[in-house]
Structures are given as structure tokens and as C-alpha cells.
A = this chain, B = another copy of it.
Amino acid sequence: MNEHVEQYKLFELNLEGTQDGNPYEDVAFGARFVSQKSGECVSVNGFYRSDGHYSLRFMPTIDGEWSYETESNDSTLAGHKGVIEVDKASANNHGRVQLASEVLRAEEAKAYGTELPYRFCYDDGTPYQPYGTTCYGWINQSEDVQEQTLETLSKAPFNKIRMCVFPKFYDFNHADPASFAYQGSMESGFDHRRFNEDFFNNLDHRIAQLDELGIEADVILLHPYDKPKWGFSKMSTEDDEFYLAYMARRYSAYKNIWWSLANEYDLMPQKSLEDWRCYARVVMANDPFNHLRSVHNCTHVYDYNEPWCTHCSIQRIDTTRTTEDITQWRAQFSKPVVCDEPGYEGNIYWGWGNLTGQELMRRFWEGAIRGGYVTHGETFIDKGPQIWWAHGGKLHGEAPQRIAFMRKIFEEAPLDAAPLDASLAQDAMWPTSSPLPEGMAANPALEKAMQYWDVPVLRSSTDYQLVYFGWYRPLYREFPLPEGKSYKVDVIDTWNMSITRLPGTYQNSVKVDLNKQYMAVRILKA
């Protein structure tokens, strides 16, 4: 009987081969998978583990039978044939996260309207909005802390995690990990052509566990926070590429993998922009499953118009305008925008990590309502030995439960709900209130632009409007409503996590009492 594998899940073929020379370098090993149903062919590169063990991983995108045959320059690894039986994905398995524009057929894509370029969905078409968090070094902590991190994640609202492979050396992060990605040691040096199977075995396990939790692993392949005795940020270009190919071969069959070439790429001046483009090509060449790819900046936003980038993974570059800049980044790059560092909730001494929960949540709302995605992080330095952002462990902040609350609201929004560009007065379907004083040269464009000049708005035709007031504290606000329709109105206290439906329905306009910061108003066609 053929081996059964679930669609989008990992099929692993394990073979024994030569141990001569350096098998990591010397042995070319792969297989070609053919779907009996569609005829689709997928070529997969395998990888060496240790002690003569070789593996090859495949993620079937189509159900039904797939046949495979291996090839290798090691004759013991070549010519292995087989057939696997791929069962249709089960209820909670939606496949990879991809660009909605690449997954959806024209008819399905229509539901996204003009939002299509900015959105993700799973392979099966289920919409996906990233609500990520950041635990850079969680896999380099003790077993206990890793387990605790997973336990925390199992109860948190996050569906993506930003995580490094190499350990991080930085404030509050000075410990050497128990296990490194390479064979060797700090004393004798690391062999950049021989990987440490124990390390990767654990990483395999952790990524699989994240997948079980429905969490995308946004794997940060390189980063600048290095220690001279580690030296992983200053390997040769060839060694970088050797490592990247290995990572892609080993992990691309996990459906929940995203590739982040680097954190703060611009703090690694030893790498040129051409290096990053080459690195992207190496990853793509070894990832037949086309996982999402990006790179993350410190002070210079990467040019995400480069075709290898599937989406933006931006750290805010202005200390004041943070997720508000998502408006500009969407216009600039026409791809989904994830603000992967809007600042963190915590009390570390630097401004990137000492926000109140209120301010972080304000940035979340500002970003989401502008059609982007915002990533969480937590940096309390007085709550115990672990700091979530660095080590994982426990969460202490006020933001996570409020992210859960907002996630539901944005997941309920129509797929084509788009941020209103008030400066363009884009939508003639919604009227304006509060006409300009007559002394101002009243013109309709100006009146339109002034209706929502101060607050971001997410809107779907005349059916849906979500307005967020952030730090503003109006006593009330009057919302003009499109003619000839009735509306239900929800007053949302984003901080206290309440949604209050106003009694009855409203025509023409509705006056909503607010009188607090961090309020939102949702207007729905009745």
C-alpha cells in the first residue's frame, strides 16, 4: 500500500548514502515528483543530515497519487521510486499562505476588488491576515523556555512568528546557545560546510509544532546581532549561499514557512544589495514551493519593488509616523505591507521597545485600517529572566488580548474593504456633513477631503465603514450615510474591548457619542 500524506503536509523520504568526504557539499540528491492527477512535476532537492542519513521533503499541493524517482551523484541514493497517496486537506489545513493575487482565480479575486494586490490568502482561498509576534531567539533558549513559548503561543492571538536561526547577541541577549547550526565550537571555530543535525532536528520539530498551532514561521535567515566568536553574520558569500540552500531544501516543504532574508539588512554593510538579490535567488532555486519572501530594514526601507519580494516586511523608520506610513508603502510597492516592527510594548531603554499597550494598539489599529498588517513584540525587562521579543517565554503585556479583539473585527470586514484616501475624495457614494463655512471657496473635492482628513477609514462600497479615532477624543462625531439605505452602527472601544450596537437603524446620518480615546465606529448596511 502506498504511503498516505495529507495535502500540503510534509512527506519525507529518508535514505542512506555515502559518508565519504563531506556529504553536505559533495552529494547532489533530489527527486522529481509527478502528480498522476494533473501531470504537474515538482523537482525537490534533498539534504544530508548526518551519519549517512539523507532526507528529501515534499509538500503535495494536489491530492491523489504522486509518483517520484530520486536522482543523485551517489548511486546508492539514485533511482529510488515510489508512489504516495495524497489525501485532501483536512478541515483546519488550508495550505501555504500566498499572495491572494497568485492563488485566486479571476472570479474569486473579484471579491477583493482593488485590495487584491495587498492581501494574502491560503492555498485553498481562505483569507489570511498576519497577526504576528516576534521571538527572535526562542529556538536558541533552553528546552524549558522553548516549551513555555509554545504554551504561550497556543493561547495567544498570533498566527505568525518572526524567529531567527542564528543566535542573537544584543542587550539582554548575551548568552551562548547550547547548540549551534554548525558543527564545531566557539573554541575551535565552526565549520560552515557541516551542519549540526541536533540543532536542525530541534528546528524541524519547532516549526512543525508552530504549524500545528496554525502559526506561520517567518524565518529570519541572517541578521547582524552577532558575536565575534560566533561569526555567522560575517561568513563568506559562498558560505551564506551554502547555508541558504540548505535551509530552503530542509524547510520549504513545511507549509508554514516564510523566508525573511535578514533582520535589519542595512546594519550588515558587509552585504551588498546584489548579495541580497543573489541570496533570494538561491532560496528560490531551492524552494520549489514558492514560499513568501521578504527582508527587513533598520533605517533604510528595502526596495520591495524588486520582483523576488512577495511582500513588505518593514520596520517603521520615523519615530513618530509609524504604521501611518503603511498608506505610503502600499502606494509605493503595490504588495502586502507588514509593519514588522512598529515598536514593542515594554519598558526597555530604547524607543523601539518601551511603548505602553495603548500606544502599541494604536499603531496596530492605524496600520490595519490603512490596509496593512502590524506585528507584535514585547520587551519588559523587569518581569523575569525572559524577554518575549528575545527569548520567548511568557507574555506580560496588555496588547495581546486586544490584538485578539481587533483580529476578529478585521477578519469580519468585507474582503474588498479598502482604506479611504481622503486626499483623493475617492468615494462619491458617501456624502459629507458639516459643509465648509461659506467664506471658504467651497468646492466638493475639498469638502470630501475634509470629511475624514483626520481619521483613517476602511470602507466597502456603501455597505461597510470602519473609522478609527486613535488618540483623538471627540465628544461625539456625526457620520453622513449614503442615501436610501439603512445602517446599523457599532461603537467599538478598542482598549476596553467592547462593541456596543446602537439601538435601531439609521438613515442619512448618525451622531455617535465617543468621548474617550482609542474608539472606533463601525457602520454596517442593515
A-side residues, CB < 8 A to B, are: 169-171, 223-228, 230, 232-234, 267-270, 318-321, 324, 347-352, 354-356, 359, 381-382, 434, 436-441, 453-455, 471-478, 515, 517
A454 with B319: CB separation less than 8 A: yes
A270: nearest residue on chain B (CB-CB)? B441
A454: nearest residue on chain B (CB-CB)? B351
Q: Can you show 10 pairs from A to B with CB atoms below 8 A apart?
A: A169-B438, A170-B437, A223-B439, A225-B437, A225-B439, A226-B440, A267-B441, A320-B321, A354-B475, A355-B473
A475: nearest residue on chain B (CB-CB)? B347
Closest CB in chain B relative to A188 CB, distance in Å: 20
A380: nearest residue on chain B (CB-CB)? B475
B224 with A455: CB separation less than 8 A: no
Alpha-carbon distance A455/B230, docked complex (angstroms): 32
Alpha-carbon distance A300/B270, docked complex (angstroms): 42
Q: Which residues of B contact A454 (CB under 8 A)?
A: 319, 350-352
Q: Which residues of B contact A170 (CB under 8 A)?
A: 437
Q: Which residues of B contact A359 (CB under 8 A)?
A: 471
Given A348-B475, A354-B475, A355-B473, 11 more A-B residue pairs with CB atoms under 8 Å apart are: A224-B437, A225-B439, A225-B440, A226-B438, A227-B438, A228-B439, A267-B440, A347-B473, A349-B475, A350-B474, A355-B472
Alpha-carbon distance A475/B354, docked complex (angstroms): 8
Q: Which residues of B contact A233 (CB under 8 A)?
A: 439-440
B171 with A453: CB separation less than 8 A: no
A471 with B356: CB separation less than 8 A: yes
Q: Which residue of the partner chain, among B355, B356, B476, contacts A349 with CB atoms under 8 Å?
A: B476
Q: Which residues of B contact A169 (CB under 8 A)?
A: 437-439
Closest CB in chain B relative to A472 CB, distance in Å: 5
Q: Which residue of the partner chain, among B232, B318, B515, B517, contacts A321 with CB atoms under 8 Å?
A: B318
Closest CB in chain B relative to A518 CB, distance in Å: 11
**How many identical subunits does the complex contain?**
2
Q: Assuming the A-B contacts A437-B227, A473-B355, A474-B354, are A347 and B515 also in contact, with contact meaning beta carbons closer than 8 angstroms in the complex? A: yes
A349 with B477: CB separation less than 8 A: yes
A355 with B471: CB separation less than 8 A: yes
Counting chain B CB atoms within 10 Å of each CB, the highest count among A225, A234, A320, A382 belongs to A320
Closest CB in chain B relative to A396 CB, distance in Å: 13
A354 with B472: CB separation less than 8 A: yes
Closest CB in chain B relative to A512 CB, distance in Å: 10
Alpha-carbon distance A350/B467, docked complex (angstroms): 13
Alpha-carbon distance A434/B232, docked complex (angstroms): 22
Q: Which residues of B contact A348 (CB under 8 A)?
A: 474-475
Closest CB in chain B relative to A395 CB, distance in Å: 17
Q: Which residues of B contact A268 (CB under 8 A)?
A: 440-441
Counting chain B CB atoms within 10 Å of each CB, the highest count among A233, A434, A441 belongs to A441
Alpha-carbon distance A226/B437, docked complex (angstroms): 6
Q: Which residues of B contact A354 (CB under 8 A)?
A: 472-475
Closest CB in chain B relative to A424 CB, distance in Å: 14
Q: Assuming the A-B contacts A169-B437, A225-B437, A320-B321, are A453 and B349 also in contact, with contact meaning beta carbons closer than 8 angstroms in the complex? A: no
Q: Which residues of B contact A324 (CB under 8 A)?
A: 319-320
Alpha-carbon distance A274/B171, docked complex (angstroms): 57
Alpha-carbon distance A267/B447, docked complex (angstroms): 12
B351 with A226: CB separation less than 8 A: no
Alpha-carbon distance A268/B440, docked complex (angstroms): 6
Q: Which residue of the partner chain, among B356, B381, B472, B515, contacts A475 with CB atoms under 8 Å?
A: B381
Q: Which 6 A-B pairs have the closest CB atoms?
A: A226-B439, A351-B454, A233-B439, A347-B475, A224-B440, A354-B474
Closest CB in chain B relative to A292 CB, distance in Å: 26
A267: nearest residue on chain B (CB-CB)? B440
Q: Which residues of B contact A437 (CB under 8 A)?
A: 169-170, 224-227
Q: Which residues of B contact A440 (CB under 8 A)?
A: 224-226, 233, 267-268
Closest CB in chain B relative to A162 CB, distance in Å: 18
A351 with B472: CB separation less than 8 A: yes
Closest CB in chain B relative to A357 CB, distance in Å: 10
Alpha-carbon distance A513/B453, docked complex (angstroms): 39
Q: Which residues of B contact A473 (CB under 8 A)?
A: 347, 354-356
A269 with B441: CB separation less than 8 A: yes
A232: nearest residue on chain B (CB-CB)? B439
Alpha-carbon distance A454/B320, docked complex (angstroms): 9
Counting chain B CB atoms within 10 Å of each CB, the highest count among A225, A230, A347 belongs to A347
Q: Which residues of B contact A439 (CB under 8 A)?
A: 169, 223-228, 230, 232-234
Q: Which residues of B contact A472 (CB under 8 A)?
A: 351, 354-355
Closest CB in chain B relative to A85 CB, distance in Å: 47
A473: nearest residue on chain B (CB-CB)? B354
Q: Which residues of B contact A267 (CB under 8 A)?
A: 436, 440-441
Q: Which residues of B contact A352 (CB under 8 A)?
A: 454
Closest CB in chain B relative to A219 CB, distance in Å: 18
Alpha-carbon distance A201/B471, docked complex (angstroms): 43
Q: Which residues of B contact A517 (CB under 8 A)?
A: 356
